[in-house]
Amino acid sequence: MSTNNNKIAQTFSQLPPPFIPMRLFANILILLTSLCLSGCIIPYKFTNRQEVSGHLMDYDSHQPVSDATITLSCNNSKYMEPVSILNETNGDFTVPSSRSWGVLPIIGPIDFYQPRWTLTITAPQYQTHTEEFRADIPLKNKPVQLGTIMLKKESPPVEPPPDSKTPP
């Protein structure tokens, strides 16, 4: 009987360990957890686009301007799509912020760029207004307040004076 047990033990000792894929997965999981907890890599919710708000008013009458289209676009990023919204009837507008999750490596000095944004406002019977500004660093989700923006009315088309040589 003991020779039979020896043969079984010998057969099992020649087989590879059954949980090698599980050990590999566990090692990778331990390595990633160690990196995250060591402070070198931190999961972080980045601000892609900060909230931008303001108020639109007529330059002459100081009345709120409604039915305006506000387009916010990033000048130095081909990955940021422009966003367009309509303002409210009281002249207020708010372009919502956009955030996404990513990994923040803390291995050396971090130099974040400050994106340049262009705000274009178009409204019926008003001149197009364009304003450029720099937003805060992407780590902050601080709203950008543009305050009151005064829009000038379009000049009516000038008709040429009637020519005296043409008959009526």
CATH of the domain at 95: 2.60.40.10
Residue-wise pLDDT tens digits, 44-98: 777 778 889 999 999 999 999 999 999 999 887 776 788 999 999 899 999 998 8
Domain that includes residue 54, residue range: 46-151
Whether 80 and 24 map to the same domain: the answer is no
Q: Residue 136 — very low, low, confident or very high, per pLDDT cuts 50/70/90?
A: low
- Same domain as 52, residue 112: yes
Residue 67, in any domain of the structure: yes
57 and 100 housed in the same domain: yes
Q: How many domains is the chain partitioned into structurally?
A: 2
* Global model pTM greater than 0.75: no
Pick from 140, 144, 142, 143: which is nearest to 46 by CA?
Answer: 140
Q: What is the pLDDT of residue 140?
A: 64
Chain center to CA of 74? 9
Residues 17 and 52 grouped into a single domain: no
Q: Within this chain, do residues 129 and 68 fall inside the same structural domain, yes or no? A: yes
In the chain, DSSP assigns E strands to: 41-49, 52-58, 69-74, 83-86, 92-95, 98-105, 116-122, 129-134, 144-151
| Residue 156 domain flag | no
Residues 23 and 105 in one domain: no
Is 23 among the domain residues?
Answer: yes
List, in order, residues 6 or more apart from 74 with CB less than 8 Å away: 49, 80, 82, 115, 116, 117, 118
Is residue 57 domain-shared with residue 6, that is, in the same domain? no
